């Protein structure tokens, strides 16, 4: 595995792969890698033989008072995992390599970027789209793989790719969970033992919502009752959106929906979602 920091070194490694006729699959991450991330890398491998992974904690997608400074950073441990998976290039740029002294939003997420996660984290998705576009410009992949765990992020990236990067195929990989049902997240390390067992109730609430999906209202109510009963937790939102538009659905909706929730357990904000067909 080649580890590169500067964009020029990255471009050289990618140009060499292209000259060998290889397609490029790209997995952007913020590091502190867990099995969820690794599943995306395995998916990348299935798609093509040249895999690029980036690790970059993007300041532009963190709000004031969020966990930018304490976000887990463990690049050496991550590097060993990536080596074992046969990743070809690990790209670990500095803030300056990515933003070149100009940390400004260059991509706007629009209306869907302002609901749900975007309502709680103002500007978050503008920051996400800005960094993803800069990484796409640098890597110019054929495939980019993202996790269904961050469903709103995936939706917005798909929209951006459709408009601005039609040659990049966006691939979505399923949510990887612990045996308890808790969706894996780099932020799970913040949870105490007690908080961790409380957090396992989030996915159970979503499953209860799905089981009660005779109607939109019944599904929401079943999930919400359980989410509100989680100890040491504060419900951010529970919502059902049309999977194709991300617009909230009303009672009577028929089709593919996504039920999404954000819950703050202790001081840790966790998100999860589940597919529901009405």
Residues that bind ligand AMP (CB under 6 A): 29-30, 36-37, 39-40, 146-147, 149-150, 173, 175-176, 183-186
Task: In angstroms, give the least distance from the CB of 146 to ligand AMP.
Answer: 4
Task: Name the residue nearer to ligand AMP (CB basis): 130 or 185.
Answer: 185
- Check if 37 is active-site: yes
Give the separation between CA 222 and CA 274, rounded to whole angstroms. 14
Contact 138, 247 (CB under 8 A): no
Task: Name the residue nearer to ligand AMP (CB basis): 239 or 273.
Answer: 273
User: What angle separates helix 124-139 from helix 7-19, to the nearest 10 degrees?
Assistant: 50
Task: Name the residue nearer to ligand AMP (CB basis): 152 or 239.
Answer: 152
Task: In angstroms, give the least distance from the CB of 37 to ligand AMP.
Answer: 5
How many other C-beta atoms can be found within 10 angstroms of the C-beta atom of residue 21?
7
Task: In angstroms, give the least distance from the CB of 150 to ligand AMP.
Answer: 4
Give the separation between CA 79 and CA 83, rounded to whole angstroms. 6
DSSP 15-80: HHHHHTT--EEEEEE-SS--HHHHHHHHHHHHH-SEEEEEE---GGGPPTTSSTTTS---HHHHHH
Task: In angstroms, give the least distance from the CB of 66 to ligand AMP.
Answer: 13
Task: Name the residue nearer to ligand AMP (CB basis): 31 or 209.
Answer: 31
37, 111, 124, 196: which one is catalytic? 37
- State which residue has the least CB distance to ligand AMP: 147
Task: Name the residue nearer to ligand AMP (CB basis): 222 or 269.
Answer: 269
In the Cβ-directed half-sphere of 148, how many Cα atoms lie within 13 Å?
14
Question: Would you state the structure tokens that stand for residue 70, as one six-digit string?
Answer: 């304490």
CA angle (40, 42, 48) in 5-degree steps: 105
Task: In angstroms, give the least distance from the CB of 101 to ligand AMP.
Answer: 24
Contact 247, 239 (CB under 8 A): no
Computed on alpha carbons and rounded to an integer, the radius of gyration of the chain in Å comes to 19
Active site residues: 37
């Amino acid at each position: 595995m080649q580890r590169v920091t500067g964009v020029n070194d990255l471009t050289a490694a990618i140009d060499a792969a292209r000259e060998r006729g290889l397609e490029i699959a790209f997995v952007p991450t913020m590091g502190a890698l867990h099995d969820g991330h690794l599943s995306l890398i395995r998916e990348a491998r299935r798609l093509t033989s040249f895999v690029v992974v980036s690790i970059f904690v993007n300041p532009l997608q963190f709000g004031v008072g969020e966990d930018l400074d304490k976000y887990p950073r463990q690049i050496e441990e991550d590097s060993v995992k990536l080596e074992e998976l046969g990743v070809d290039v690990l790209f670990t740029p500095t803030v300056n390599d990515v933003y070149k002294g100009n940390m400004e939003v260059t991509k706007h997420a629009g209306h869907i970027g302002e609901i749900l996660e975007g309502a709680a984290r103002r500007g978050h998705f503008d920051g996400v789209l800005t960094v993803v576009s800069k990484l796409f410009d640098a890597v110019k992949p054929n495939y980019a793989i993202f996790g269904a765990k961050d469903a709103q992020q995936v939706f917005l990236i798909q929209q951006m790719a459709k408009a601005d990067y039609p040659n990049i195929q966006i691939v979505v990989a399923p949510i990887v969970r612990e045996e308890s049902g808790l969706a894996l997240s780099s932020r799970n390390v913040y949870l105490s033992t007690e908080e961790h067992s409380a957090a396992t109730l989030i996915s159970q609430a979503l499953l209860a919502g799905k089981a009660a999906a005779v109607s939109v209202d019944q599904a929401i109510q079943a999930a919400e009752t359980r989410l509100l009963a989680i100890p040491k937790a504060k419900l951010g939102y529970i919502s059902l959106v049309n999977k194709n538009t991300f617009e909230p659905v009303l009672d009577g909706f028929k089709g593919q929906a996504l039920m999404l929730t954000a819950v703050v357990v202790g001081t840790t904000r966790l998100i999860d979602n589940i597919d529901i067909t009405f």
